[in-house]
Structure 1
Amino acid sequence: MMVTGLCFVSMTALVKLLGGRVPAAESAFLRYLLGLIFLIPAWRDLCALRLSPRQWRLSVLRGAMQTLGVLCWFFAMTRIPLAEVTAMNYLTPVYVTILAVIFLGERLAVRRILAIVAALGGALVILRPGFRTLDPGHFAMLGTAFLLSISYLIAKIVSDELKPVMVVALLSIAVTIGLAPFAAAVWVTPSLADLGILFGVACVATGGHYAMTLAFAAAPVTVTQPVTFLQLVWSVALGALFFAEPVDPWVVTGGIIIMGAVAFITWREAVLKRRVAQRAHESHL
């Protein structure tokens, strides 16, 4: 999970390194297009895959939400500091929890409600509306977290029915297709150096997802989730060292509040799962 965090923050830093030379929509498209190289080993299984109409609908919907979320994320990267992007990204699991209650019928206990309120309070600490002028990048990140939460919720549903490799492959193809018209509308011929940076983005993104998969297989979420919070440390350090971004104590404080809320939600979900498993075991005895 430490490697995962480093990969994802490196991905963010590489996108920022482009400095707006390549439009956000085109950068996102090229990142996913170049990333399709990593799907070549799974191509045969992908061609043999047969989806039900419901799985098709869910896959298309997830692709659409991920496409819009990625567009917002790449736009935000050109507008606001690394640390703010990373801190606001932590809102995604909070949104997932809320959507799971609405669409999957999951129960929301008082303690989890308080954790969600605390996380949203952390977002307000970062944004500080009324005390500073908000950049469009801040609103883009709020949209990113919400759109990606829908994508993750659909992934949670379809991952019970399809192989993980197929879930990732379908998403990558759908997002590449979805981003194509947005990229065409603002197309600027990228330099070889910029293409190299975007290929690096694709590499570290793929490496991050692979490392995360290994971590989830090796340890419970309650062990792996808190380690992801190191991403805020990496992003603050990278922003200060390489992009001359001052360390904003409000962003760090808000990020810590959101991280604490996410950690509590993760821990509570793990406790509830253990209780359910224990009751099921006792019922069989």
Structure 2
Amino acid sequence: MMLALFCFCLLAVASRELTVEMGTVQILFWRSLLGLIMVSTILYSKGLLNREGLKPEVAPWHFLRNGAHFAGQCAWLIAIAALPLAEVFALEFTTPLWAALLAAVFMGESMTRGRWASILLGLIGVLVILRPGAAVIDPASLVLLAGAVGFGISIIVTRKLTLLLSGTNHTFLLILFYMTAMQCVFSLLLSLPAPGLPPADDWGWMIAAAVTALVAHYCLSRALSYADAAIVMPIDYLRLPLIMLTAWWLYDEAVTIWLALGAGLIIGGNALGLFLESRRRKVAST
């Protein structure tokens, strides 16, 4: 989890630097292409780059997941270029709230007391950060919130994929393969006739973005395989103070009291939901 936190923050910095000279779709194309090369190399070395290893029968679910994830990534990069990094991370933390709500609507999952508390506190936190009526809302903030909904869809579809691929010992590598492959195609189609090469001085940041994106998601998934979400996810919330310090050090970005208060409500809502859910499951099991 500590490696995941470091990679998430480095990914944000690399993406901020890339947006200075490159467009959103262009960044996603080259980042996805580099990621696809890395994942394909790993699958090939394990003898899994074939029909049996790639499990094409679940490709429609991958398409749904990666369409939503691609939209979320576009929104995230737009926000990275326009908003303070701490605000980006704070609003991104609403993703679990949207995932819980969407899972209840489309998958019939029950809305427990903990989930309702998470959603309520999270929405209040968003309102505190955006302060509609008291301040002009940056359109990039609304774009990012829409992107968080896309990330929420990708989460519940990922849950479905892990059930369909249960018993497969390379499930997450498969998810990464289809994610990078499909996002490479999506971004290529949107950038026709050609995405264009990154500027020569941006290749270092591009490689850093591709590597840290894969390593961060891989480490997060491995951490969740070692311990319950109630233990792992509160550690993930350290991303916010870490990116606050990083943004202050590199970009001289200040943190307002409204951002800190709103972020605290969003994170508190997520943490409360995890606590109540884990306690409910413990009681049910005993």
State the match for 2:28 in structure 1. Answer: 28
State the match for 2:168 in structure 1. Answer: none
Does 1:223 find its partner at 2:228? no
Instruction: Give the partner amino acid of 2:281.
Output: K
| Closer/same/farther in 2, CA of residues 251 and 271 from structure 1, 3 Å limit | same
Q: Is the 8 A contact 1:76 1:138 kept in 2?
A: yes
Separation of aligned partners in 2, 1:166 and 1:219:
22
Instruction: Give the partner amino acid of 2:126.
Output: A
SS of residue paired to 1:245: coil
Judge which range, 78-87 or 113-122, deviates more: 113-122
CA drift of 1:226 comes to 0.6
| Closer/same/farther in 2, CA of residues 165 and 189 from structure 1, 3 Å limit | closer
Q: Is the 8 A contact 1:96 1:153 kept in 2?
A: yes
Instruction: Give the partner amino acid of 1:219.
Output: A
Deviations 1:84-130 (A, max 9, x none): 00000100000011011111211112343132111110011111111
Give the 5 Å matches for 1:61-140.
Answer: 61-140=64-143
Which one of 221, 224, 229 corresponds to residue 213 of structure 1? 221
Instruction: Give the partner amino acid of 1:273.
Output: R
State the match for 2:10 in structure 1. Answer: 10
Separation of aligned partners in 2, 1:274 and 1:51:
37
State the match for 1:261 in structure 2. Answer: 269
CA drift of 1:177 comes to 1.0
Deviations 1:240-261 (A, max 9, x none): 1101211222111111110011
| Closer/same/farther in 2, CA of residues 78 and 184 from structure 1, 3 Å limit | farther
| Closer/same/farther in 2, CA of residues 188 and 114 from structure 1, 3 Å limit | same
Q: Is the 8 A contact 1:82 1:239 kept in 2?
A: yes
| Closer/same/farther in 2, CA of residues 214 and 110 from structure 1, 3 Å limit | closer
State the match for 1:42 in structure 2. Answer: 43
Q: Is the 8 A contact 1:26 1:186 kept in 2?
A: no
Separation of aligned partners in 2, 1:269 and 1:111:
6
Deviations 1:15-36 (A, max 9, x none): 1122421011111221111111
State the match for 1:281 in structure 2. Answer: none
Separation of aligned partners in 2, 1:112 and 1:170:
30
CA drift of 1:185 comes to 6.7
Instruction: Give the partner amino acid of 2:261.
Output: T
Instruction: Give the partner amino acid of 2:120.
Output: V
| Closer/same/farther in 2, CA of residues 50 and 228 from structure 1, 3 Å limit | closer
Judge which range, 89-98 or 216-225, deviates more: 216-225
TM-score normalised to the size of structure 2? 0.90
Consecutive unaligned residues of structure 2, counting only runs of 5 or more, are 166-170
Consecutive unaligned residues of structure 1, counting only runs of 5 or more, are 279-285
Instruction: Give the partner amino acid of 2:139.
Output: P
Separation of aligned partners in 1, 2:194 and 2:133:
34
Q: Is the 8 A contact 2:188 2:194 kept in 1?
A: no
Which one of 51, 58, 72 corresponds to residue 56 of structure 2? 51
Separation of aligned partners in 2, 1:208 and 1:50:
24
Which one of 168, 177, 186 corresponds to residue 176 of structure 2? 168
| Closer/same/farther in 2, CA of residues 18 and 197 from structure 1, 3 Å limit | same
Separation of aligned partners in 1, 2:203 and 2:217:
21
Separation of aligned partners in 1, 2:240 and 2:131:
19
| Closer/same/farther in 2, CA of residues 190 and 50 from structure 1, 3 Å limit | closer
Give the 5 Å matches for 1:187-202.
Answer: 187-202=195-210
- Give the number of aligned pairs: 276
